[in-house]
Structure 1
Amino acid sequence: MATMSQTWSIFTAFTLLVMQLCAGKKSCSIWSSAGPVVQRGSSFTIYCTFNCKCKGSMYSDHPPTLQSHKELNSTTIYFNVVNITKNRTYSCKCNCSPALDPCGLDISAGYLPDPPKNISCICKLKNKESGVVSCTWNRGRDTYLSNNSMLWVRTVPGKHKEDGLHSNRTDRPSVSFSVSRSVQLISVWAQTGNRLGYAASSPINFTLSDIVMPSTPVLHQPNCFSRGCSMKVKQSVETQHLEIQYKTGEQTWTAYRDQGVQDLSISPLEPYRLYHFRARSKFSNGLWSEWSTSISSWTQEEAPVKELDVWYAEAASDFTSLRVYWKEANISISRGKIIEYKLRIYNPDSGSENVTNISGNARNYSVPFCANCDVTVWARNSKGISPPARVTTRYMEAKPPLGVRVKADNDNVTISWRMPETAALPTAYVLEWYPEGHKLEELKWIRLGRNDTQFVITGIKRFKCYVGAVYVYYSESSVNRTTFTGVATMESAPGAGPLVQEKPEGNKVKVTWMELPRDQRGGCIIKYTIYLKSNSGSLQPYSIPASERTYTIHDLSPGFYSLWMTASTAKGEGPAGQTVKFFIQQETQLSFLLLCGIISLIVLFLFCLCQSSTVKQRFWVLFQCIMLDVVPDPANSKWAKECTREKGKINLQLQLSNPSVTEDEREPVLVDVEELPKQNIDTSTPTNVSPQHIPQTDLSSEGSPATLLYPMTTYIKSFSQDSDSSNHTHTSEDTNTSADYISSHGPGIMSEEEQENEEFAEMLVFFPSHNIFIEPLAFGGKLTLDAVKINCSDSDHNSLVRCNLSENNF
């Protein structure tokens, strides 16, 4: 058992040892007939020999690609590579037992190096004793292989010496070495090599005096005034030539040369410019040194030399203000930093002026509009003020530019015109342009000479509509212009439709809309179109000019309608905007019918009132009041005077009926007369007593007395029972009397007609204070109390009597 156990342990150890020995062993070996480095474009063969008996295969590149190899014998295969153009990797693989690693080979393809060329050398003197020679050369085309470059140097006179100097740079090889001032001549050649071979240039000889170069000079900070600058130059070795170059901004360098002096002054220069300076030096022979580091400095300011370019604009919707614009003057005109602008408004009509100081960053300013005002603008820097620039709104009539034409392409707009046919030649033209509707915000202009008749506008934004004008100046105040509209460099159909608002009014609808946003117009809008669709489906378009913002559609039938709008440019019609719906109601003429109904009711009411005789009488009273007829005063009549001869008594005569009265005479009118005694009260204010409060007290034919109810008066008022009209009687001049009635009825009995009269009088309370409905009335012809006969059965002043009253001249 122990022996068996030991044997098994030895076997296991041997197996592990074999496995360790076999680990990392290749299954094959691979090689090339041309070696691992070949020239590009060459052809060769790759061989693979396997270490075990198996069927092998060959692969190329990454990831491995199976190649169609050929068998050389039972253990070797090969593959022919034709015209190789790049670095490649080949590998072989075989399934061995135990498994072994595949074998592989990297092939590098490149070119033989070219002989170096363009060898150049310069000698920079560090001091008077020695210098440094730097040589560079061109190694030729890329070999796609690792190269090394070397420069061989031989110095003459002195000991013949050759040094091989390696270059650390592979793209532009260069080397540097030191030489003494005693060396006069050097001979150099370059060599380049790689794994394919080497190539060398021919030797080149250099005379040090021809390639000597001073060290780079150092410029000190310049000291500048408005027209020049002075500066110092420092050099390690004295030279015979010195060159200074200067420029401003993007300008080209301007050279200034001197004979190697240490202090120099450069002029003339422009005021308020940032100048850049650099310097180089040279011996009497040899090469110019390298340029020094550039330094910069500003020249000082001077007062502005020219007036500003000033223009103006009036707001289309607000003529109460004027906006003045000016362009920022270029540095050659401003000659300094503008710290402020000065603006003056002068009114020649009143002789007043207003001066305002404006920030130097401003480019426009709004001033109150004045039809005859002059506006003057100055610019000021630290050294002074510019000449005045004046604009005026006071223009005389002049001939405008003729034949203004506009031609637009995809980027620019060309404006051309003809000179006006006048005896006086123009002095200048001004061309202005701006996006439609944005004059104050984006106004641009250009001043042109008297002989200019064309200008190309650049910077026009695409799909934007521009308008403008050409102004012609004959003098400062003789100006006229010709406008142009609808200018666009590129157009498209609008991107949206207008937003509309509708307002139905009867059988019409009023449509209003706003302008499209600028980014949705696509160019210049030439028209709007309203589409109206009825409930029946019929569609009616209405074309409106682009300048309009409202439109009214008339004579619409009752019903539902839909409405939308579109905008159009020269390139086509845009999409529809939102659709609005509205309703047209049936024409009921409600107001007219209501008015007719009210008028009819009023006429019918008046007609019904006129059927009443009482109403007729009242309207006749109103007519008499308007006519202002003179009514006799009963108190001053002959009859009243005769009846009141005795104080406190009325003498009334009763006329008996006479059968012999003619037919022409009318029957006597029976009148109830009530005589009231005076009372010791103020009778200047009449006392109106309603007949309804009078007791039914009557006088019999025997003249029996009755009870006295009212004070006695000499003023008699009466109503004729048979009359159709009444007459207004003025109040007696006797202020000590009061008024009452003599009625043809009993004092306590009111007829139905009298009650109607009383009610109608209460309705007309808005008439004058002396109520015309209770004033004495007289009807018929010219009634006077002198012609009235009254016969009473009793003349007692303390009782009521029944009288016969007649009018002789009816």
Structure 2
Amino acid sequence: MATMSRTWTIVTALAVLALQLCNGRKSCNIWSSAERPVVQRGSSFEVYCTFNCKCQGTMYSDHPPKPQSHTELNSTTIYVRVANITKNRTYSCQCRCSPELDPCGLDISAGYLPERPKNMSCIYNVKDNERGVVFCTWNTGRDTFLRNESVLWVKTVSKNHTDEPLRHKGSTKGTGLSSASFPVSSSVRLISVWVEAKNQLGSAVSITINYTLGDIAMPSTPVLGQPGCSSRKCIMEVEQSVRTQQLEIQYRAAASTWTSSPDSVVQTSLVQNRSVSSLEPYTLYHFRARSKFSSGLWSQWSANISSWTQEEAPATELDVWYAAAASDSIRVYWKEPNISTARGRIVQYKVGVDSQKSGSVFLANVGADARSYSVQFCADCEVKVWACNSKGPSPPARITSRHTKVKIQQDVHVNVDNRSVTISWRKHDTAPPHAAYVVEWYPEGNKLEELRWVRLGRNDSHAVLTGIKPFECYEGAVHVFYNESSVSRTGFTGVATLTSAPAAGPSAQETVEGNHVTVTWTEIPRGQRGGCVTKYTIYLEVDGKQQRHFFIAASEERMHIIKDLSPAVYSLWITASTVEGEGRPGQKVNFFIQQKTQLSPLILCAVIAPVALLLMCLYHSSAVKQRFWVYFQCLMLDVVPDPANSKWAKECLQEKGKMNLHLQLSNSSVTEEEDEPILVNVEELPKKSGDVCAPTDVSSRLLPQTSLRPETEPATVLYPLTNYIKSFSHDSDSSDHTQTSLDTNTTVDYISSHGLGNMEEEEEEEEEEEEEEEEFAEMLGFFPSHNIFIEPMEFGGKLTLNAVKIDCSDFFLSEQ
């Protein structure tokens, strides 16, 4: 049973294998007329397919397969003609058989024959005194698009022996270069080398090159140690594997070119120290080295090493300039010195002043980041600035603003393009050899903040301004120094590389005064000006309809007065313009011009009425009137006309008739109980034709003035209630002091022209007025109690100063 089971298993396996073999059969056979799967590019051939069963066969090409237009050779064979093949191709054939069979295919590679290797060179790298390695490279030519193989053949010749050629496989790099290396002993003197290149299409052999190893010998790359440097010199250690006859050390600062050291290169040992001199202080230097035998090739450059030289005190003064900060001060500017000038890291700047009167004065130590300093300046002062590093200060840079102005106008031209600004001028042939130019420039209105300048020599006639920002307006000047004390200055303005219309408008403010308005405005922010502003335009709108505009040239004033505006509601706004056009309008402001108004009669009445009422009240106050009369008389001239000698009095003496005035004089003994009125009898005579009517006889008698107690109010008036003649010595009606009696030589001061008919009525009015005056006097306690006028005076004729004589002596007596 076991044997039968094993036999059945074998039979089954054979059946399965036979089935698999049957399924692995091809449905066709494929071949080409080129007879091999590799052909040269550009060749032509046919590809045939013969089918193993009766079917309709099809031929395909490339990936993915594409049907090809074929030709039937016979009932079982088809073919396709391939012309001028340029790349690798794949062909396949397929037909439907029963059972199903696999298709057949053919891969054809297209390429070129290898070219003859060329540009072969060899180098003998000497490792030590016993051995070395020869390294050869060559150019394999164009790409063959096939798998290539290069072989280097080498034949060595020793003193008395020639070796058989040895084969060394070369390696190909992507750059089209191939290389190979092989060791040689120190006994080899000559070598012969050639290269064979081959692929599936064929092979090519280079020419044979013979080398003397001494001619291609190259020492190993030197190794440099870290240099030790002073301010002017660096010393470093150099190590080599073999002794050479030449050693070259190069150095450079930053990105400058390499410079070879001129020091001796004779080697005495494998490790030695080499120095490099003529260096600059405080500079980062890079070093490298290479070596060479007495013949042969230079070694490869060593790796770069770097080191700083030490510092020295700065050797040259700073580049300084100045700008006037105020009438008695200047701001001194300086440029940061470069490394070669500074000779070290600047730690601070020192500023001082030299004066012929007070000598040198130290002002301040300024930080290393500072670039300016403000100084109080005097007529004979000179400002000095030093740059200091760890080794000391630089020579002082001197600046003075007290120069004699030379009246020579430079012919300055400005040339602007989109990237740069060039300032040029005409040179003066008479300028001394030591003449110098300074060109300064700065953004408009920002001289103290962003001043820049450049110094030029006598032979220079132009300067290219740097750091010019687009859409920024610049101004500046060209200074010519003829000697230490004389200078001329020619300014330039309106310089901009790129320009656009302003992006914003000025902010306006108005001040209205009557029918005038004063308009002021602020500058547009620098970033929105678009360049140099050439003009401002003020737009004035009346009642939202009519518009007027005013053009104002750009200046530092930024103010304009609009006059003679009619009453209305106004609006105004301002725009700024550059050469590219007008910018956006600024914010609109509104204002109102009012109608000119005079004080109306009602307002005048409202103002005058209280004043008139006050004057009337004061007028009815006897104390106020008396005080006013006292001041008025005292201001009059001392020489007063005498009424008795006046023209009026003399003419009236010619009149017939008489005027009798009976005046009761007061006496100091009279008490306040007196209630009899003082009557004045007036008799008027008819006036003749052509004469002036006036009294002819005036007589009066004065009684001593009555002394009254302050608290007592008199019941009657002491004097007649009519126009009268009264002496100042009788005016006091409330005095505590007894006045001197004036019984004789009494002067008649005032002459009444009233008749007697009005005396009673006037007497009543007098009483009312005195009551009002006393009440007003109590209210105004500071007024004096003397009466000046009691009633207004009226005269029948004309009364002039020539007809009146006033005697002030009584007044002074009454005040005693």
Q: Which TM-score applies when normalising by structure 1?
A: 0.75
Alignment partner, residue 377 of structure 1: 385
Give ranges in structure 2 of 5+ residues lacking alignment. 1-14, 637-662, 687-694, 741-755, 794-803, 811-816
CA contact (8 A) 1:416 1:453 kept: yes
Aligned counterparts of 1:201 and 1:477: Cα–Cα separation in 2? 82
Alignment partner, residue 770 of structure 1: 783
What is the Cα deviation at residue 196 of structure 1? 3.1
Spell out, residue by residue over 1:52-74, the C-alpha distance to the aligned partner (whole angstroms, 9 max, x if none): 87767666656666665555566
Alignment partner, residue 743 of structure 2: none
Aligned counterparts of 1:282 and 1:141: Cα–Cα separation in 2? 35
Alignment partner, residue 683 of structure 1: none
The residue type paired with residue 367 of structure 1 is V
Alignment partner, residue 793 of structure 1: none
Alignment partner, residue 479 of structure 1: 487
Segment drifting more, 240-249 vs 656-665: 656-665
What is the Cα deviation at residue 432 of structure 1? 0.9
**1:157-556 maps to which residues of 2 (within 5 A)?**
157=158, 158=161, 160-171=163-174, 172-255=177-260, 256=262, 257-261=264-268, 262-315=272-325, 322-346=330-354, 348=356, 353-368=361-376, 373-419=381-427, 427-489=435-497, 491-503=498-510, 505=512, 507=515, 509-535=517-543, 537-547=545-555, 548-556=557-565
Paired positions, count: 722
Alignment partner, residue 721 of structure 1: 721
Segment drifting more, 191-200 vs 18-27: 18-27
Alignment partner, residue 122 of structure 2: 121
**1:694-709 maps to which residues of 2 (within 5 A)?**
none
Aligned counterparts of 1:98 and 1:519: Cα–Cα separation in 2? 88
Match of 2:584, SS? coil
The residue type paired with residue 139 of structure 2 is N
Alignment partner, residue 747 of structure 2: none
Residues 348 and 68 of structure 1: CA distance in aligned 2, closer, same or farther (over 3 Å): farther
Spell out, residue by residue over 1:565-603, the C-alpha distance to the aligned partner (whole angstroms, 9 max, x if none): 433322x21442356263545x3334x335x64334445
Aligned counterparts of 1:578 and 1:538: Cα–Cα separation in 2? 19
Aligned counterparts of 1:193 and 1:358: Cα–Cα separation in 2? 78
Aligned counterparts of 2:363 and 2:628: Cα–Cα separation in 1? 75
Residues 206 and 690 of structure 1: CA distance in aligned 2, closer, same or farther (over 3 Å): farther
Residues 508 and 662 of structure 1: CA distance in aligned 2, closer, same or farther (over 3 Å): closer
Segment drifting more, 495-504 vs 235-244: 495-504
Residues 148 and 652 of structure 1: CA distance in aligned 2, closer, same or farther (over 3 Å): closer
Alignment partner, residue 593 of structure 1: 599
CA contact (8 A) 2:732 2:785 kept: no
Spell out, residue by residue over 1:344-392, the C-alpha distance to the aligned partner (whole angstroms, 9 max, x if none): 1345566683421122232222334556542100112222221111111
Aligned counterparts of 2:769 and 2:342: Cα–Cα separation in 1? 103
Aligned counterparts of 2:784 and 2:667: Cα–Cα separation in 1? 28
Aligned counterparts of 2:51 and 2:569: Cα–Cα separation in 1? 97
Aligned counterparts of 1:503 and 1:389: Cα–Cα separation in 2? 50
Pair 1:687-2:710 in alignment: yes
The residue type paired with residue 253 of structure 2 is T
What is the Cα deviation at residue 127 of structure 1? 1.6
Match of 2:171, SS? coil
Residues 74 and 212 of structure 1: CA distance in aligned 2, closer, same or farther (over 3 Å): same
Alignment partner, residue 12 of structure 1: none
Aligned counterparts of 1:654 and 1:541: Cα–Cα separation in 2? 84
Aligned counterparts of 1:129 and 1:624: Cα–Cα separation in 2? 146
Residues 600 and 156 of structure 1: CA distance in aligned 2, closer, same or farther (over 3 Å): same
Alignment partner, residue 681 of structure 1: none
Spell out, residue by residue over 1:658-709, the C-alpha distance to the aligned partner (whole angstroms, 9 max, x if none): 999978599999x999988x9xxxxxxx625456xx6xxx9xxxxxxxxxxx
Segment drifting more, 752-761 vs 190-199: 752-761
What is the Cα deviation at residue 223 of structure 1? 2.8
Report the identity percentage.
49
CA contact (8 A) 1:728 1:777 kept: no
> What is the aligned-residue RMSD (CA, Å)?
5.0
Aligned counterparts of 1:80 and 1:559: Cα–Cα separation in 2? 102
Residues 674 and 574 of structure 1: CA distance in aligned 2, closer, same or farther (over 3 Å): closer
CA contact (8 A) 1:304 1:379 kept: yes
CA contact (8 A) 1:136 1:175 kept: yes
Segment drifting more, 491-500 vs 242-251: 491-500
What is the Cα deviation at residue 114 of structure 1? 1.4
CA contact (8 A) 1:718 1:776 kept: no
What is the Cα deviation at residue 514 of structure 1? 3.3
Aligned counterparts of 2:46 and 2:201: Cα–Cα separation in 1? 18
CA contact (8 A) 1:727 1:779 kept: no
Alignment partner, residue 153 of structure 1: 154
The residue type paired with residue 169 of structure 1 is T
CA contact (8 A) 1:56 1:94 kept: yes
Aligned counterparts of 1:25 and 1:513: Cα–Cα separation in 2? 102
Aligned counterparts of 1:386 and 1:128: Cα–Cα separation in 2? 56
Spell out, residue by residue over 1:150-180, the C-alpha distance to the aligned partner (whole angstroms, 9 max, x if none): 2111111335232222233333322221111
Q: Which TM-score applies when normalising by structure 2?
A: 0.74
The residue type paired with residue 593 of structure 1 is L
CA contact (8 A) 1:215 1:290 kept: yes
Give ranges in structure 1 of 5+ residues lacking alignment. 1-14, 632-638, 679-685, 699-716, 788-810
Spell out, residue by residue over 1:694-745, the C-alpha distance to the aligned partner (whole angstroms, 9 max, x if none): 6xxx9xxxxxxxxxxxxxxxxxx73542238987657599955599xxxx99
The residue type paired with residue 501 of structure 2 is P
Aligned counterparts of 1:531 and 1:96: Cα–Cα separation in 2? 100
**1:101-112 maps to which residues of 2 (within 5 A)?**
107-112=108-113
**1:629-644 maps to which residues of 2 (within 5 A)?**
629=634, 643=667
Alignment partner, residue 795 of structure 1: none
Spell out, residue by residue over 1:226-252, the C-alpha distance to the aligned partner (whole angstroms, 9 max, x if none): 332333322221122222222222222
Residues 216 and 773 of structure 1: CA distance in aligned 2, closer, same or farther (over 3 Å): same
What is the Cα deviation at residue 413 of structure 1? 2.2
CA contact (8 A) 1:720 1:779 kept: no
Residues 588 and 146 of structure 1: CA distance in aligned 2, closer, same or farther (over 3 Å): same
CA contact (8 A) 1:757 1:773 kept: no
Alignment partner, residue 706 of structure 1: none
Aligned counterparts of 1:175 and 1:517: Cα–Cα separation in 2? 72
**1:582-621 maps to which residues of 2 (within 5 A)?**
582=590, 584-585=592-593, 587-590=594-597, 592-593=598-599, 597-603=602-608, 621=626
**1:48-59 maps to which residues of 2 (within 5 A)?**
none
Aligned counterparts of 1:19 and 1:758: Cα–Cα separation in 2? 164
Spell out, residue by residue over 1:615-638, the C-alpha distance to the aligned partner (whole angstroms, 9 max, x if none): 69898656514314599xxxxxxx
Spell out, residue by residue over 1:392-439, the C-alpha distance to the aligned partner (whole angstroms, 9 max, x if none): 122223234521111122333222223458686662111111222332
**1:663-678 maps to which residues of 2 (within 5 A)?**
none
What is the Cα deviation at residue 776 of structure 1? 7.7
Pair 1:136-2:141 in alignment: no
Residues 180 and 57 of structure 1: CA distance in aligned 2, closer, same or farther (over 3 Å): same
